[in-house]
Every structure is written in C-alpha cells, then in structure tokens.
Structure 1
Amino acid sequence: MTKAMGAAMRRIQAGNALSAFGLGFTVPYLYVYVAQVRDLGATTAGVVLAVFAMAALVVLPFTGRVIDRRGPLPVLVGAAVLASAGALSMGFASSVPAAVASAALLGAGTAVMQPALATMIVWCSGPATRTRAFALQFFLQNLGLGIGGLIGGQLVDQSRPASFTLLFSIEAVMFLVLAGVAGSAKMPRSMPLSDARPTGEQGAGVGIRAILGHRAMVQLCVLGFVVFFACYGQFESGLAAYGTEAAGIQPSTLGIALAANTAVIVVAQFLVLKFVERRRRSRVIAAVGLIWAFAWIVAGYAGLGHGSQAMATAAFVSTYALFGLGEAMLSPTVAPLVADLAPESMVGQYNSAFALVKQLALAVGPAVGGPMGAALHGPYIVTFVLFSLGITVLALRLGKGLTPAQDQPVLAAASRVVSVHKPEPTPANA
C-alpha cells in the first residue's frame, strides 16, 4: 500500500465510523418515533420501515454502473448528502407523507453508500491489505453503531419530540461529515485485480448479464442471501419475537443481547483476524455456518428447554454473542471475496449486486421469521439450524470453484513473491 492509498484509507475509515455513529443514534428508535412520538400509529411506522428498505431495492440496481463510470467518491458524497437531507427531514416529520418521503431519502442514501464505500476500500488496498481493511471497516461500523445507540438512548425522551429532532439532526450532520472527510481524500486506483479475476467468464456480457454469467459470483450471492437471511434478518424480528414469546425474555433483555453481540464483534474482530486470513475463505465461511447452527440450538434451549428463567436468559444472550463471533469471522472474508471476484472495471457493480442481495435478505427475513418466531417455536429453530448448515454446504461448494488467489490470498501472495525473487540458476560453464 502506498502512502497516498494509506492516507485515503484512513479518511474513508474515519468517515465510515462517524456515519455509523450517526445511524446508531436513530435506527433503534425509528419505529417508536413514528408510531408513538409523532403519534402516526403502528401501521404508518411499519410503512416507513418498509419504504426505508424498499428504497434500497430501487436504487441499488443502478448504483454499480454509476460507480464504475464516475468513480465511487462522487457517488458516496451524493449519497451522504441525500441521506443527510432524509435524516433532517425525518426529525421534523409530523405527517404521514413527510415521514414516508423522509424514509425514502434516508433509505436510498444509506443504501448507495454501502457499495460506494466498499469500492473505495478496494481502490485503496491491495490483495495483501484488503482483508484487514474490510475487517477494520466492520469493526468501526459496529463500534460506531453501539456507541451511537448507547448515547442516543440517554438523550431520547418520548414525551419530548424535540429530543428526537436533535438525534436526527446529529445523524444528518454525521452524514455531511462523512461526505466532507471522504471527499477530501485523494483516491488512487487500486492495484490491478488481474490475479484474482475469473478467467473465461468475465467477458460474458456487461452489467447484470456478466454477473449472472460468472458462476462463482452467483454462488457467492446465493450464499450471501442465506447468510443475511439466517442471521441479520432475524435479529430484530423473528429471534426477538421468539425470545419474548417462547423464552419469556423481557424486552429490556433484547438490548442486552444486542449489546453482547456488538461487544463480541468489537473484542473478537482482531483476535480472529490472524486465524482467518491464513485460512481458506470458503472454509472460514463454512465454519461460521457451524457456529451459527450451534447458536440456534442454544436459542432452542432458551425457549424450548425446561431450565430456569435465568438459564433461558443467559442462553438467549449467548445466542447473540455466538452470532457476533461468526460475524467477526465473515467480515474479513466475504466483502474482500466480492472484490477479488470482480473484473477491475466492474468492482462497483459487483459490490452493488451483493448489497442488493443483502437488502433482499433483510426484507424477506423479518417477513418469514417474524410470524414463525412468534407462533411456531419448534419449527422456527429447526428451520434456521438447517439454514445455518446450508451456509456450510454452500461455502464448501463455492470453494471448489475459486482460484487459490481468491480463496486464500495470503498463500497466493507468498507464492508470487517467491517466484519474483527466485534466483537464476548458475550456468554450468560459468
């Protein structure tokens, strides 16, 4: 990594942390704000959350091509300004149309920022540093979300709408800070990705046709959908409903469980990084599937076992902690793998495609898991144990189609260094 790349990376990561801090201020309280503080009702709050998610599905199919044509920096700055406008208007929204329009702006802006940031990280890193760069991004995101949620919880007062206006205003400012910090970075082009590119598949077409013609990327997208559906798509819907209905968990304990999840990520991220970066990515992802299957079994004990309430609570919190361990292992594997699969001219489109898959999973996950977690306790646990084991199977299948540079870039980099510095044999007649 050059000096310019390192300086740009530091600015990108700082802006990423600050924007996550701003999101943490408001995301946990959006439903309460719309339904109770603004007194617009539970139905309107549900519509607002749905619009927030649907806006992402609308803009992401077009985002990747713009990133690849114009560069990720102007896209990120534009998205941050859009999200800032959405957050600020949400803070003053007192009617249904205003709340829905604000959610659309906020959802679209935050969705576009994901692939733009990921592409900037790819441009500012090489194969040897990319794994750590994405691990640091995930670490800072969770740290920012956790601290933001903690401080935001101390500031909000349901009897004072102005306290929520303050939170959304702070979030709006954080997005503008992201735009300013990232916008001041001098963006170098990343090292060529030729060593990691697929051969024989990248010329299948352009845009979505090229991605659909790239078998390894399609497999990774299917795997990503299952990952986000079985984990993130259940945190605040199915798993929360299961915990309160089947395990008798108090609503306040849900906050403790989410805090445990964040704490494990923050503590474990760099502890597991050395373990992860020296192993095949496909096998690391496969191991995450096994960890999450065990997490769902622990959740099953919390709700279906016959232990005390204290044991059920401890098991439920442990479920979130185990998910956090798996997340810490995934962050340095999945996102860099998307970048290493992408042709150099399509990094933005590959990142956007994977972000779209994530949003689809996050939309479908609560719709399926919520009702099951609330009413079908046994089938709910069995279903997601099987989904987690499916992650393991899909990861191992994906590994068979990856090149050494894609599956284990550390060894591939080492072999390139050896080949470059191998001494020439001395001629016999010298």
Structure 2
Amino acid sequence: MSNLKQNRQGAATTPVKSARVIPQWWQSIFYRFFTLPNMTGLLLFAMACIAWNRGLALLYGMVATLLAFILLSVILPWIYLRRLHVAFEQPIPVHAGQMQTIHVQINTQKHKTAYGIQLTPILVSTTAFNHTTKPTQRLNYVAGQARVVFNFTPAQRGSFNLQQVTVACAYPFGLITLQKNMLAVPCPQMVYPRLFNIKHLPPSWLHGAVSLGEQVHRNPQGYDLFVGLRQYRTGDNYRHIDWRATARSGDIALREFEQLEQPRISLVINADSTLNIGQGEINALEHSLSLAASIAKYCVMQGISVNATGAINCQINSIEHLDDFYMLLAQLPTQTQHHYAEYLSHTLGHHNHSGVVISFISQHFLEVTPLTDQHHSQKHWQFVFNDDSYLNPLKTFKRAAITHHHHTVSIPIYANHNIADTINNSN
C-alpha cells in the first residue's frame, strides 16, 4: 500500500509534456526560412517545374506574372530611393534627460512622387540615448518636399554630428525591401550636461559667514560703485531698473553697480582620468560636470558671479555666459594628465572673503594625493565621489555624513543617492 502511494506521488510530481509544444529550435528555423520572399521563390520554382513538365500555357502565364511582380518589387523601390535627398535641420541644444527634436528635410528630384518611404536616423552612439530602439518614421508618399520629426531623449552629454539616414522602401508589393544609407551635410548636435534641481546652497557650509544670497539682494549701499546702464536680462533684480532711462529709450534699462568685494563662486572643473569612474550615465565625471552646471545656473539666477577654472577657464555672469559654459562642458574630453591638485592649490591661494571654491575629486585620489595645505583661509566645498559606489552601482551604500575641517567642507557623493537631495537637504 505504501509503495502504491509513493508511485502515485512520483507520478503527480513528474511534469507531463504536451504534444502541442513546438521546440524552440524548430520555431527559429521556421521563422528564419519561411518568409514571404522565400515562399514566393519556392512557389515560382514549383510552378516552373509543373509548366515545363506538363506544358500548360496557364502555368506559363502565372509564372510570367509572378516574375513581373518580383521584378517590380525590385525596380520601383530602387527608383524611389534614387529620387530622394535628405538634409538635417540644426537642432536646438538640450540638456541630457530632456527630449530633443530633430527635423529631417526630404526632397525629391524634379518634384516627382516617391511612395512607401521609411526613414531612420543613424545615431552616432547608441549608448548616449535612453531608447535602445531606433526612432523610425514612415511616409506614405513624398511629393517635392516633406519634413519628418524624430523625438528621442539623450542620456549623456556630448557633441555629435548627424550625417546619415537609413532609408528603406518595399513599395508596392512588400516582397523585397531595399535599404540605402544616405549622407547629408554634417549637422552638429549639442547635448549639455544633465541639470540637478538645486534650491539653495546650505548656509552651514559657509562657517557662519553671511549667506551669499543676502549680499546680492540687498539695496545698493553707499560703497557700491555705479558703473552705468545696461539692458534688462531675465532674472535681474527689478529694483535696479532706471525708469527714467527706460521711458526715454523705450527699452528696460538697468542700473549696474560694482561692489568692492562681490560674492564669487569658483568652480575648479576636474576632467582627469582619475574621476572617469563608472559606465554610461552612472559616471563620476559626468555627475561632476552636471553638478558644476547646476551650481552655475543657480548662482547666475541669484546674481552671484561664477568663475570656472581647471579644465575650463571662463567667467559666468549672465544667461549668455551660462550657455557658453554649458557648451564647453559638453565638448570637454577626458584628460589623462593629473594636474588637478595644482589647479586647486592655485585657486585656493587667491583669497576672497565673500567667495567659495568648489572642487570635485574621487575618494581614491584624495587618499593617495595630498591636495592642498589644510591651513588655507579660503572657504572650500569639496565634493568627494565614492569610487566603490560607481564601480558597483547596484550595491547599497550608507550615506556618510558631511564633515567640516577648518575652512573645508567635504560632501560625499554616491552613485545610488540623489545628488540634488544631498545639497538641498543639508542644513
């Protein structure tokens, strides 16, 4: 009785194979060889054999008709593809993570009509974009001119060239699809670094000094030097508008003052290979450039002057300067020289009581390389990128505390933590 019970249990646990299950290798062979062009060729061969063996005129006519269909399936797409010319329109620069729109202009020779055209732009780097599938648009017909719009989201900064488009056509019968890579005039595509939403710079990092924003938004005092009038720009303080000059000229004029010691942020950009840790979007170098761009935007909106040194040297005092700074960051390559410590020491040597020096460095490089004299009197914010978190982005790391040492504030940055929250949630 016990043996019978064991046999029943064994039979219940043994999986039963269904007779309707088709093996995967047979499915792959079927879908690989039994396609529409192959089946059409096989049918043509069978009809030709029957007609030759039997001598039937009807089969000869069917074979001739089928041959005509195949011939038209090759000739017509070839003619339509020869008529086309493509050109890219200059895309508007966007930041990584924002949707970018690319317009492709299609022209036909002598305003003739082409049918069933399918276009796919050839992206320079597939890893630089979020969508793995290539954007494709299909046009039923093109007569003279047409414009095709492609939308995709770049994931990384960079400067690329849009130059090729893959054009395919299978009109009218769909038996044979012809493809052709068409060259166009190279069109530069600029992708700025990703921006983080920085709401404020923590006052506690200033070591008790006056907040940077308070010095900018106060009314002009007697020790401010009036330097002249300039045109109003978005983000300027409306209290500095000269209404009399505005009424005379018709354009909004702004009184510009120069303080004896203006608040200034010095960004020491690091492009050394020691910071190039991680892959794709999760990269310490890319995060440092995004952080520099975000801080620069916040400071410009608050009226704080920004100076970029290190791998990039420029002054950022307006929205126009900010766009130029974004462009320099987008085109910045990874350098193999290790001169970042020298750049940082030189910047810390120029003391500014109202300013802050911001640096970006990896944890390993900080441990093996003595950066600067720790007794400098310049306020220094040091963003330290954790190497292990960028090499193992799926691993969970506990957030370390922000440390203060003399005039230096060390802010640890991890790949799996929100960088914007690290700044916004600091008191």
Q: Do both share a fold (TM > 0.5)?
A: no
- Which of the five TM-score ranges fits, normalised by the shorter chain? under 0.3
Q: Which has the higher contact order (CA 8 A, sep 6+)?
A: 1
**Higher-helix-fraction structure:** 1
| Higher alpha-carbon Rg | 2
The TM-score, its normalising length taken from structure 1, stands at: 0.21
TM-score after normalising by structure 2:
0.21
